[in-house]
């Protein structure tokens, strides 16, 4: 009985340490554009990231999945549809055509879309508010579309009031 108690105590101690290291969501705030983004804690800063203060680049799956969070002042007063057109065109140019639109929804407040071409997939969301827009792009191999969608569903954007 004493050995069982020692074994259980040891097991609970190990599980407690593992639980303590489990990371919850993290937050990136951009004061320049007045927004904050909550993202999964298992994403980490990418080696190749912007240095101009417009956003942040994160990675998962040893760099196979890349998350770009960027903000911009909408000085040209572009609609969400127009911004989506730019994003889709950039994806098509990168993959030289053959792009499939797996999902697309837009309204005055933004858009969400999932594109695929060849072995790659990109999930994009855009929010617009008070003359600013936030664009989040998650790219990765088609084989990791479930992970891309899981990250996509865990990201929350908040605008400063």
Q: Is the pTM of this model over 0.75?
A: yes
What's the chain's average pLDDT? 88
Please name which of 59, 86, 70, 87 lies closest in space to residue 144, comparing C-alpha atoms: 59
45, with CB counted inside 10 A (0-12, 13-18, 19+), is: exposed
> Is the separation of the CB atoms in 142 and 124 below 8 Å?
no
* Start-to-end Cα distance in the chain: 60
Kindly report, residue by residue over 138-149, the tens digit of the pLDDT.
Answer: 999 999 999 999
Kindly report, residue by residue over 97-148, the tens digit of the pLDDT.
Answer: 789 999 999 999 999 999 999 999 999 999 999 999 999 999 999 999 999 9
- Cα 63 to Cα 4, 74, 132, 149, 152, distances in angstroms: 43, 30, 29, 16, 16
Average pLDDT estimate for 47-59: 80
CATH number for the domain whose boundaries are 23-159: 3.40.1000.10
């Amino acid at each position: 009985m004493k050995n069982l108690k020692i074994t259980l105590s040891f097991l609970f101690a190990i599980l407690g340490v593992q639980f303590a290291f489990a990371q919850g969501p993290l937050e990136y705030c951009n004061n320049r554009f007045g927004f904050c983004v909550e993202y999964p804690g298992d994403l980490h800063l990418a080696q190749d990231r912007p240095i101009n203060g417009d956003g942040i680049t994160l990675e998962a799956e040893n760099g196979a999945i890349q998350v770009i969070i960027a903000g911009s002042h909408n000085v040209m007063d572009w609609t969400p549809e127009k911004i989506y057109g730019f994003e889709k065109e950039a994806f098509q140019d990168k993959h030289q055509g053959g792009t499939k639109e797996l999902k697309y929804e837009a309204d005055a407040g933004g858009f969400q879309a999932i594109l695929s071409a060849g072995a790659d997939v990109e999930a994009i969301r855009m929010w617009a508010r008070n003359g600013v827009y936030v664009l989040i792009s998650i790219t990765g191999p088609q084989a990791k579309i479930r992970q891309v969608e899981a990250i996509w569903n865990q990201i929350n954007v908040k605008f400063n009031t």
